[in-house]
Amino acid sequence: MPDQPPADDPPLVTRVEVPSPAPAPRKPRPGFWAAVLWCLFFLAVQLGSAIAMIVAFLGVAAARSDDAGKFLTEQLDGFVKAAAKAGPNDPPPQQIPTVLAQSLAYGMLAAQVASVGAILLVVPRVVGRDWKRQIGVRVPAGLHVFLAVLVVPAFMLLAEGIQELFLRLTGITRPAANEALNGTFATVPLFVTLLAVAVGPGVVEEFWCRGFLGRGLCARYGLRWGVLATSVLFGMLHMDPSLVFITGLMGAYLHFVFLAARSIWVPVVLHLLNNGLTILALLSPTLVAAGKALQEDKQGYRAVIDIAALGLIVFASAALWTSRAKLSDDATASGWEPEYPGVSAPPPEAQRRIEYGDLSPAAMVLALGSFGVLAYLLSQYAS
């Protein structure tokens, strides 16, 4: 008989290693309260750099004057008088003193330059090395750029109309200082004005708000609430109670354009053209006269202009959405899926690609027709 193992030996037991569950992926940043803090940081960068430039500019000018104290007093007194709110029967306020106006303009430019530095410092570290892929820094479709340019006059006119209605309903008035600041840009070269008011804000605010803040907020709360939160913060960044509502509303439309194009450059184009044409309208006597004629509306076309502008917005938006950028739906593609709701593009190793929808010919024709009607009617006020 072969030897039998002792009866009290334990049975053989095979240990099975159970893999520990993979940690849940970290939610993209920022969340809402972090976004609020980032907005405060953004404002601190802009205000700090603007104030530093203004102080340096005035300091150099004062040092070159015969009496530095008297010079600075005259500049500040002139600003206070220019920013004072005049009564209905009072003469129009005087212009901001030239040197102070120049310092303010260059201060605004410094704020934009500093903001670019803040974006390059913060966004890659918070979003990651592939931040450009995740926030849509890619070449846009030519059609989408064309539609962004086409919609500019309607975007501006409807924003102005909604703003006027908002001020009437709420009783909020524009700060008198805003009116005085409009004249500051006549004291500096035009390219400085366009960089400070149009190109700078168009790039900086879109990268920061739609790209950076919108990425985290849409990832955490979904597109609907993410776009709403981003637009509210965008409005609050302008720090003017009379502008919070309209800038927030404009921000929501810019976010729609961003999502449809999946490229940050398309809302940048719309944003900078809106700002640039607005400041050019304030600096051009011809356009100022045309704006007053439009307000007086002696020709009686204003209602038709508003309808044409609304039609242009609706039809151009429909054309943009039907031709929107989206991920290819190839069954043989790799298993890559967007990390979160938004504009994230496939990484280079993925087989999926961005493709475009079929443009609605009817929407495009109606958008072009609305633009033609709007351009013709506006020309009647400029003649």
Mean pLDDT of the chain: 88
CA angle 375, 379, 382 (to 5 degrees): 140
- Check: CB of residue 246 under 8 Å from CB of residue 163: yes
pLDDT of 308 > 80? The answer is yes
Q: What percent of the chain has pLDDT over 70?
A: 88
pLDDT of residue 139: 95
Residue pLDDT, tens place only, 140-191: 999 999 999 999 999 999 999 999 999 999 998 887 767 777 778 888 999 9
Residue pLDDT, tens place only, 160-173: 999 999 999 999 88
> Token pair of 237, please?
């960044």
Query: What is the DSSP track for 152-221?
Result: HHHHHHHHHHHHHHHHHHH-----HHHHHHGGGGGGS-HHHHHIIIIIHHHHHHIIIIIIIIHHHHHHHH
4 or 371: which leads in pLDDT: 371
> Token pair of 67, please?
């009496």
Mean pLDDT computed over 265-269: 98
pLDDT of 22 > 50? The answer is no
pLDDT of 3 > 80? The answer is no
- Check: CB of residue 207 under 8 Å from CB of residue 115: no
- Check: CB of residue 212 under 8 Å from CB of residue 122: yes
Q: What percent of the chain has pLDDT over 90?
A: 66
Nearest-angstrom CA–CA distance, 165 and 142: 35
Lowest mean pLDDT among 57-71, 99-113, 234-248, 294-308: 294-308
Number of other residues whose CB lies within 10 A of the CB of residue 251: 27
pLDDT of residue 36: 97
Reported confidence tier of residue 24, pLDDT bands at 50, 70, 90: low
- Check: CB of residue 301 under 8 Å from CB of residue 182: no
Lowest mean pLDDT among 7-21, 26-40, 48-62: 7-21
Count of alpha carbons within 13 Å of 48, Cβ hemisphere only? 9
